[in-house]
Amino acid sequence: MARTPRPRLLAVALHRACVCLTLGVAVAPFEALAQAADPQTLPAVTVSASADGAGDLPAAYAGGQVARGGRLGLLGNKGVMDTPFATTNYTAQRMEDQQAVTLAEVLGSDPSARFTGQVGGVTDSFFIRGFPINEGNLSEVAFDGVYGVSPNYHLFTEYLERVEVLKGPAALLYGMSPNSGVGGVVNVVPKRALATDLTRFTLDYASDAQVGGAVDLSRRFGEKREWGVRFNGLHRQGPTPLGNQKSRAEVAALSLDYQGERLRASLDVIEQYQWIDAPTRPFLVATGVQVPAAPDGRRNVSQPWGWWKSNDVSTLLRAEYDLTDNVTIFADAGGTRSDVARFSDQTPTILNASGDTSAVPQNWKFQINRSSFDTGVRARFETGSVRHALALQANLYMDRFASASRAGTAVRSNIYDPVASPVQSVAAPGSVPKVSDSTLSGVALADTLSAFDERLQLTLGLRYQQVKSGNYSSSGAKTASYDESAVTPLAGIVYKPWQHVSLYANYVEGLSKGDIAPATASNAGEVFAPYKTKQQEVGVKLDAGKVMATLAVFRMTKPSGQLFGTVYAIDSEQRNQGIELTLSGEAYKGVRLLGGVTLLDGELTRTNSAATLGNRPVGVPRVMANAGAEWDLPWVQGLTLTGAVNYTGNAYVNQANTQHVPSWTTVDLGARYRTRVSGHATTFRAALINAFDRKYWSGVASYGTISQGAPRTVMASVAVDF
Average confidence (pLDDT) over 554-558: 97
**Could you check whether the bond before residue 668 is cis, i.e. omega within 30 degrees of 0?**
no
**pLDDT above 70 as % of the chain:** 92
Whether 4 maps to a domain, the answer reads no
pLDDT band at 525 (very low <50, low <70, confident <90, very high): confident
The yes-or-no verdict on residue 33 having pLDDT over 70 is: no
Whether 111 maps to a domain, the answer reads yes
Whether 1 maps to a domain, the answer reads no
Sheet holding 113-115, edge to edge: 113-115, 126-128, 131-133
For residue 589, what are the contacts with CB-CB under 8 A and spacing of at least 6? none
Whether 607 maps to a domain, the answer reads yes
Whether 50 maps to a domain, the answer reads yes
* Secondary structure letter of residue 95 according to DSSP: H
Q: For residue 142, what pLDDT is reported? A: 96
Average confidence (pLDDT) over 652-677: 96
pTM of the model: 0.90
The yes-or-no verdict on residue 627 having pLDDT over 70 is: yes
Whether 218 maps to a domain, the answer reads yes
Q: For residue 598, what pLDDT is reported? A: 98
Average confidence (pLDDT) over 265-282: 96
CATH number at residue 181: 2.40.170.20
**pLDDT above 90 as % of the chain:** 80
Average confidence (pLDDT) over 551-558: 97
Residue count of the chain = 722
Whether 3 maps to a domain, the answer reads no
Average confidence (pLDDT) over 615-622: 95
The structural domain count of the chain equals: 1
Nearest Cα neighbor of 182 from 128, 250, 109 is 128
Ranking 19-28, 543-552, 593-602 by mean pLDDT, the lowest is: 19-28
pLDDT band at 2 (very low <50, low <70, confident <90, very high): very low
Higher-pLDDT residue of 51, 578: 578
Average confidence (pLDDT) over 97-121: 92
Instruction: Output the average pLDDT for the chain.
Output: 90
Q: For residue 118, what pLDDT is reported? A: 84
Q: What is the 3-state secondary structure (H, E, C) of 292-343?
A: CCCCCCCCCCCCCCCEEEEEEEEEEEEEEEECCCCEEEEEEEEEEEEEEEEE
Ranking 338-342, 530-534, 562-566 by mean pLDDT, the lowest is: 562-566
Q: For residue 4, what pLDDT is reported? A: 41
Q: Are 513 and 465 in contact (CB under 8 A)?
A: no
pLDDT band at 283 (very low <50, low <70, confident <90, very high): very high
Q: For residue 480, what pLDDT is reported? A: 87
pLDDT band at 58 (very low <50, low <70, confident <90, very high): low
Query: Which domain covers residue 663, as residue numbers?
Result: 9-721
Report how far residue 151's alpha carbon sits from residue 338's, in angstroms, rounded to the nearest whole number: 7
The yes-or-no verdict on residue 371 having pLDDT over 70 is: yes
pLDDT band at 40 (very low <50, low <70, confident <90, very high): very low
The yes-or-no verdict on residue 498 having pLDDT over 60 is: yes
